[in-house]
Amino acid sequence: LEVRDAGCPVGTVIEVRDLFFNVPARRKFLRAPETESGHLRLAFLAQAIAHFGIGMTLQADGRTIHALPAGGGLEDRLRDLFGRDYGAGLRTVEHQAGVVRVSGFAGVPSMARLDRTEQFLVINGRPAMAPTLARALRDGYHTLLASDRHPVVFLFLDMPPERVDVNVHPAKREVRFRNHAEVRDALVEALRRTLAHDGAA
């Protein structure tokens, strides 16, 4: 009936049902249920990783896919999502370059995948991507990966908000930077230092 701010006390449950029941033009573009479920899971993963301190549950067709407790760190969240042994291939990233801070985890080269579904970047608290960052990931791993492989990363980039334009994509999935070279260089250096320290580079 109206659009307004609303409080959401602890325990609030938000349900969306029959999302496109009266929008047939939008509904006809939906893919197979399995495909749409995959998209939903990726969207859930992005939010669960970006806000790792918040408890979240993903249910589908009456069964629980993920039940994530609140209060843990990023390492705990990744273990809950991907399994106990997953963290063995991850290396801690912690780097500050001017006003750009890069933190999180980067996978060793042997963890590389054939697609980018295990690349999660969080920019000032928002899951997002930028062409600059895609290139920086490739450059950060330099010659450590074959051209058809993509690194596994869970990285947080923090910088003054005025240096990020979030209004370049309708769903806010892509951002632009006031100084893209500054961000690119910070990410490349963060990855190279992490991998070199680990003896991978």
**56-79 average pLDDT score:** 93
**5-12 average pLDDT score:** 86
Residue 118, pLDDT > 70, answer yes
The pLDDT of residue 179: 96
Residue 198, pLDDT > 80, answer no
The per-residue pLDDT for range 168-189, each reduced to its tens digit, is: 888 788 999 999 999 999 999 9
Residue 199, pLDDT > 70, answer no
Residue from 142, 150, 141 nearest 117 by CA: 150
The per-residue pLDDT for range 27-39, each reduced to its tens digit, is: 788 888 888 888 9
Residue 144, pLDDT > 70, answer yes
